[in-house]
Structure 1
Amino acid sequence: MTTDRVESLRDRVRELMPQVRADLEALTRIPSVSLDSFDQAQVEKSADAVADLLRAEGLEVQIVREGGRPAVIGRLAAPEGAPTITLYAHHDVQPPGDDKDWDTAPFEPTERDGRLFGRGAADDKAGVMAHLAAIRAHDGKPPVGVNVFVEGEEEIGSDSLATILDKHGDLLRADAIVLADSTNWEVGVPALTTTLRGMVRVAIQVETLDHAIHSGMYGGAVPDAITALVRILAGLHDDQGNVAVQGLSQGLAAELDYDEARLRAESGLLDTVSPIGSDSILSRLWTKPSITTIGIDAPSVDTASNTLVPSARAKVSMRLAADEDPRHAYDLLRQHIEKTTPWGAVVEVSLDDEGAGFAADAQGPIYDIARSSFQDAWDGREPVDIGVGGSIPFVAAFAEKFPDAAILVTGVEDPDSRAHGANESLHLGEFERVCLAEALLLERLGGQR
């Protein structure tokens, strides 16, 4: 690709950005939370809005439902001899949480200091609009075939994705798949995500009594369920904070400059609190297993009576090395909990959710083209290959369904995007670079005929 063509596309993307942003803000105003406890009419409205945007660019569009939330599929036929690219994003979002934790209303996009704040502004409605911006940059006629797949239930586990891929997979078959739901290394440094951790989520139910009893009358001889549960949870880590479950896979991450100061700045770790685990920080974040207690059911402090609690429950999330079998990991975790349960308490460990990890062999001409496109979009800054500690099970689903396609995991986020949290935001300058990189990618892939 000539320098003049790169600059032409750069100018075109810059010209498009006001409308791209306006469309992104309109999508962000739709509270498309896919959890059952929220209004699912808003998820339908979001799918319709995405479908309308795709139709306006000349794509043939259908909304599909296979027992779950609506997904949108749009298609542009490939020019003769050109490859086809599938572009993935999702239009559902996480719950906003407590409004008081937000500096501005979560579903009213607001700009501050070059960032656009709002639930879904980054994760992942910006991914939807990055795909549209790339198509618009080619005036709706990119030099490749384009399939756009915008899922509607990624935030609740993509339960119907396997059925969608089974029934509609022929509509999504491609030479390369761009999955825009990850992050960049930092503002100003683009990245390709080449590894993702898998995950297992379990519920742990502990019982010690058939009814609550007076803590003064029986305390000291009879164990309560909360204390038993706490001892189980404490036994999931060793004294350093490493996962104590034996037999899990683990690896070492690539050497990139990431020190404790950056970890503290990005995570909000309190000054007096030490990081946990051993080996490099990136290995702890990307390639080693981790276990987190994410919820406990027990009487609250404000409503607790002076009794021995008969039962308690916790939800635990375990992240896994990319090559770990989630069912094998679940068995190891269950066995560990059963072995470490104190005082003969009755324990039940039930599988709540699971997802496979992903590791790409990110070599070959399509990956080279992607890296060149990122480098041009970021004014000569070379992209880095990163891992992500979070789990995106749909990536493994696509890799399994389309084993011959190059899988490019990209994204619009940066370390301060706070996806899933209060004050989620999108860096607008980085977003423009993402849009340009994808437009350049489509151009270069079209030259592979």
Structure 2
Amino acid sequence: MTDQTQRPTAQTETNPSDLAARVADLMPGVRSDLEALARIPSVSLDSFDQRHVEDSALAVADLLRGEGLEVEIVREGGRPAVIGHLPAPAGAPTVLLYAHHDVQPPGDDTDWDSQPFEPTLVGERLYGRGVADDKAGIMAHVAALRAHGGRPPVGVTVFVEGEEEVGSESLPTILERHGDKLACDVIVLADSSNWKVGVPALTTMLRGLVRVVVEVRALDHGVHSGMSGGAVPDGLTALCRLLATLHDDAGDVAVAGLMSSEAPDLDYSEEDLRSEHALAEGVSPIGTGSILSRLWTRPSMTVIGIDAPSVDRAANLLTPVGRAKLSMRIHPAEAPETAYLALKEHLDANAPWGCQVSVTLDDEGAGFAADAQGPVYDVARAAFRDAWDGVEPVDMGVGGSIPFVAAFAEKFPQAAILVTGVEDPDSRAHAANESLHLGEFERVCLAEAMLLQRLSTIEKE
């Protein structure tokens, strides 16, 4: 990690240009530390070496100690999380800064233009697994602390989770057993995106998640496809017919009773959708209504896995059982339990040819919708405007789910929640060639430093 002996002295002035100059001076060291973090292959899936996740937690702890925080690493049956704390000056609020240090698997190295765990600069973008999601979130917090000389004008607690990419299973226990250490007035969750390069955003809505495994059984055992075909159904064909009932002809989800609403009216075209979401040439978007409603406030249904004989090993056999995993995203205000029951009822009611259907809940997570009004949101938007040279921030939704946001909202109902991020539409989080736009990253760091300064002017309730 970089030498911190040259950290600037903490100051109290609010002049944005002064903070901007400090952040600019700090960015080479911040980038160097980000690259060091990104070289640690901290994939939290069980099939990967978990010693790297431990190394990542230790590196994060060292970074926070370097800024004068009191630090501990906690484990509650899962991957290590790091908690660092600086007490609040008298009368000042405490801000909880969240990020996660675990990353997605890299996938096939041949899909990458550079080595996934060797950060590589190309133009204005830094490429590598985790450089955006979410180790840049960690370093944005560190940069904000450095901009204030390690002595921000508010209390700061930094919480860096180690298993967000595998579902945050131990987070409820951490919040229960260590919640007193995380108590705060404002929460900044740095794991989302900005609207586009040059336009900042607050994420004010997130869809929820219901993931199920559906199994369709047609036979007690496999039988000859020639001898039995034509009169006897097979599990795989029956599964395909069942899955086809989940959408209507336009591509809208056909499960009855699910919540739906209209998204904010922002400028977003089909061309934007195509360029940002990798639609192949000639493929039409699915669904009806505005594109942002389809992405943010209406349900979606995706088949993310199927158990089936592989093409190169398939026998002339009727497959007795077909299994699929479904990922359903739901309206930000929809209860996952209600959505699951609606999906299960639909699958049971549409069993083809009397086949046996079983539905097993695999995972669920609540959505999030913020009432993004009040003094905390006002100063956040002001910080964004200053950091982006007067560009007005956008309130946006995200079609993906971040269940831990709802967990924090439930644990700390009095705290204002700001969902921010370092990504942009070209970041390719979770995919090959994940990248971070370094110019935008500097603005994110500056905005957070300004946010800490501005929050010190708000009276603690």
Matched, 1:354 2:364: yes
For 2:30 and 2:103, how far apart are their aligned partners in 1?
19
Counterpart amino acid of 1:23? D
Matched, 1:447 2:457: yes
- 1:290-439 equivalences under 5 Å are 290-439=300-449
Which residue matches 1:117?
A: 127
- 1:58-137 equivalences under 5 Å are 58-137=68-147
Which residue matches 1:9?
A: 19
Of 235, 241, 263, the residue aligned with 2:245 is 235
Which residue matches 1:197?
A: 207
For 2:457 and 2:364, how far apart are their aligned partners in 1?
40
Instruction: Report the alpha carbon displacement of residue 312 of structure 1 after superposing the two structures with TM.
Output: 1.7
Per-residue CA distance 1:248-277 (angstroms, 9 max, x = gap): 111100000001011011111122111000
For 1:428 and 1:228, how far apart are their aligned partners in 2?
50
For 1:379 and 1:146, how far apart are their aligned partners in 2?
26
Per-residue CA distance 1:301-325 (angstroms, 9 max, x = gap): 1111111111121110000001101
Secondary structure of 2:103 counterpart: coil
Instruction: Report the alpha carbon displacement of residue 207 of structure 1 after superposing the two structures with TM.
Output: 1.3
For 1:311 and 1:26, how far apart are their aligned partners in 2?
47
Matched, 1:165 2:175: yes
Counterpart amino acid of 1:166? E
C-alpha distance 3-72 of structure 1, shift in aligned 2 (>3 A)? closer
Of 47, 50, 65, the residue aligned with 1:40 is 50
C-alpha distance 2-138 of structure 1, shift in aligned 2 (>3 A)? closer
For 1:276 and 1:203, how far apart are their aligned partners in 2?
23
Judge which range, 373-382 or 207-216, deviates more.
Answer: 207-216
The RMSD of aligned alpha carbons is 1.2
Counterpart amino acid of 1:306? N
Matched, 1:19 2:26: no
For 1:415 and 1:142, how far apart are their aligned partners in 2?
31
Per-residue CA distance 1:2-54 (angstroms, 9 max, x = gap): 99721110010010001100110111011111111111111111000000100
Which residue matches 2:8?
A: none
Secondary structure of 2:71 counterpart: strand
Secondary structure of 1:440 counterpart: helix
Secondary structure of 2:306 counterpart: strand
Instruction: Report the alpha carbon displacement of residue 448 of structure 1 after superposing the two structures with TM.
Output: 2.5
Per-residue CA distance 1:312-358 (angstroms, 9 max, x = gap): 21110000001101011111101101111101111111000000000
Which residue matches 1:277?
A: 287
For 2:417 and 2:165, how far apart are their aligned partners in 1?
21
For 1:347 and 1:31, how far apart are their aligned partners in 2?
40
Moved over 6 A (4+): 1-4
Counterpart amino acid of 2:409? A
For 2:13 and 2:73, how far apart are their aligned partners in 1?
39
The answer as to whether partners of 2:12 and 2:153 remain within 8 angstroms in 1 is no
For 1:303 and 1:96, how far apart are their aligned partners in 2?
27
For 1:446 and 1:427, how far apart are their aligned partners in 2?
29
- TM-score, normalization by structure 1: 0.99
Secondary structure of 1:302 counterpart: helix
For 2:252 and 2:123, how far apart are their aligned partners in 1?
38
For 2:76 and 2:186, how far apart are their aligned partners in 1?
24
User: Structure 1: which 5+ runs fail to align?
Assistant: none
User: Structure 2: which 5+ runs fail to align?
Assistant: 1-10
The answer as to whether partners of 2:61 and 2:72 remain within 8 angstroms in 1 is yes
Which residue matches 2:190?
A: 180
Of 43, 55, 66, the residue aligned with 1:56 is 66
Percentage of identical aligned residues = 71
Matched, 1:149 2:159: yes
Aligned pairs, number: 449
Instruction: Report the alpha carbon displacement of residue 212 of structure 1 after superposing the two structures with TM.
Output: 1.4
Counterpart amino acid of 1:70? P
For 1:3 and 1:296, how far apart are their aligned partners in 2?
58
Counterpart amino acid of 1:359? A
Counterpart amino acid of 1:194? T
- TM-score, normalization by structure 2: 0.96
For 2:256 and 2:13, how far apart are their aligned partners in 1?
54
Instruction: Report the alpha carbon displacement of residue 90 of structure 1 after superposing the two structures with TM.
Output: 0.3
Per-residue CA distance 1:68-108 (angstroms, 9 max, x = gap): 11000000011111111000000001111111111111111
For 2:15 and 2:172, how far apart are their aligned partners in 1?
39
Counterpart amino acid of 1:149? F
Instruction: Report the alpha carbon displacement of residue 447 of structure 1 after superposing the two structures with TM.
Output: 2.4
For 1:443 and 1:170, how far apart are their aligned partners in 2?
24
The answer as to whether partners of 2:14 and 2:453 remain within 8 angstroms in 1 is no
